[in-house]
Amino acid sequence: MTDPTAVTERATLLSVDDLVVEHRTPGRPLVRAVAGASLSVAEGEVVGLVGESGCGKSTLARAVCGLNPVTSGSITFGGHPVTPLGLRRRNPALSGIQMVFQDPYSSLNPRRRVGAQIADGLRTGRDTTSSPADLLERVGLPRDFAGRHPHEFSGGQRQRIAIARALAARPSLLIGDEPISALDASAQAQVARLMRDLAVSSGAGLLFISHDLSVVRLIADRIAVMYLGKIVEVGRTEEVWNDPRHPYTRALLGAIPAPDGAGVLPAELPGDVPDPAAPPPGCRFHPRCPVAMDVCREREPDFGPVACWLHEPA
């Protein structure tokens, strides 16, 4: 079976198969943050993963880095299974996955000069020719910032430094876990584009996680839409943007305000994301879906690329 939306000419770099990640908290019900999600990223490809808060996109990203234990399913990176990161050193075969985190204020060690932190990345990437200042230059910062401490920088600058450190390790897959959501609007698109350009020019794949579809559209080759632990739609960016098929994707797109001066308020999606500890039966989206049918209440659509009974493959 071939996935019509996969970029076939490039080799698969990361493949996530039917991944389930559960959060156990003593005394509270088991939460299935990721409930059978499948996703692939090809070499040099930029994939945007979007969804509301709490839909499990960050958990998915953390699992890909080995930061969350996997309940079932598999994650394979460049032919190696991704193993959980315990107390041992990370498997060097997996250091090709590097991550840029959400909070710029806790993503850098406040006690160390940024040059030293970028140098850690260079050591991981066995890069003996570049200097931390070169990396700073690549992310558009002055070379002499290497001698300064993180508290001297703004959120956007810190995020650039975090990107420089991740790139210094010469990753083949860069993951951005909502790397722009803590930045102000003017810096968001800049930083997102920077991440894309640097990943593409170094030949690395990029998995960019965001709740902001309008930014993801600018940088992604493909978009995956996640809802309550499942990928509900995957497709090329222009297809998803121009012709969204899953009702949830439509609702997400409808919620983007249009700066056309017409003063039309964005459509609102009624209801809240259900509790992932007790997902609704059948299709997970049916309680909020404007076009829900009987079959949606009974059976879960576990097919792709659009997990909706309206788009069941023949």
Smallest distance, another protein to C-beta of residue 39, A: 20
Question: Which of 10, 90, 217, 245 is the binder for another protein (CB under 8 A)?
Answer: 90
Q: Assess 164 for contact with another protein (CB under 8 A).
A: no
Smallest distance, another protein to C-beta of residue 19, A: 19
Question: Which of 1, 25, 111, 313 is the binder for another protein (CB under 8 A)?
Answer: 111
Residues 118-147 as x/- pattern, contact with another protein by CB under 8 A: --xx-xx-----------------------
Q: Assess 114 for contact with another protein (CB under 8 A).
A: no
Which part of the chain contacts another protein (CB under 8 A), choosing from 71-79, 81-89, 203-211, 285-293?
A: 81-89
Q: Assess 28 for contact with another protein (CB under 8 A).
A: no
Smallest distance, another protein to C-beta of residue 126, A: 11
Nearer to another protein (CB atom), residue 101 or residue 285: 101
Total Cβ atoms within 10 A of residue 313: 9
**For the CA atoms of 39, 9, 176, 253, what is the dihedral angle to 10 degrees?**
-70
Question: Which of 34, 70, 101, 196 is the binder for another protein (CB under 8 A)?
Answer: 101
Question: Which of 88, 259, 260, 314 is the binder for another protein (CB under 8 A)?
Answer: 88
Q: Assess 170 for contact with another protein (CB under 8 A).
A: no
Q: Assess 165 for contact with another protein (CB under 8 A).
A: yes
Q: Assess 306 for contact with another protein (CB under 8 A).
A: no
Q: Assess 166 for contact with another protein (CB under 8 A).
A: yes
Smallest distance, another protein to C-beta of residue 125, A: 9
- C-beta of residue 73 within 8 angstroms of C-beta of residue 39: no
Q: Assess 26 for contact with another protein (CB under 8 A).
A: no
3-state SS of the chain? CCCCCCCCCCCEEEEEEEEEEEECCCCCCCEEEEEEEEEEEECCCEEEEECCCCCCHHHHHHHHCCCCCCCEEEEEECCEECCCCCCCCCCHHHCCEEEECCCCCCCCCCCCCHHHHHHHHHHHCCCCCCCHHHHHHHCCCCHHHHHCCHHHCCHHHHHHHHHHHHHHCCCCEEEEECCCCCCCHHHHHHHHHHHHHHHHHCCCEEEEEECCHHHHHHHCCEEEEEECCEEEEEEEHHHHHHCCCCHHHHHHHHCCCCCCCCCCCCCCCCCCCCCCCCCCCCCCCHHHCCCCCHHHHHCCCCCCCECCHHHCCC
Two structure tokens written together for 105: 């204020």
Q: Assess 13 for contact with another protein (CB under 8 A).
A: no
- C-beta of residue 297 within 8 angstroms of C-beta of residue 279: no
Nearer to another protein (CB atom), residue 174 or residue 232: 174
How many residues comprise the chain?
314
Residues 30-69 as x/- pattern, contact with another protein by CB under 8 A: -----------------------------------x-x--
> Which residues in 219-258 contact another protein (CB under 8 A)?
none
Nearer to another protein (CB atom), residue 17 or residue 103: 103
Q: By the criterion CB under 8 A, which residues form the site for another protein?
A: 65, 67, 85, 87-90, 92, 95, 97-99, 101-103, 106-112, 117, 120-121, 123-124, 162, 165-166, 169
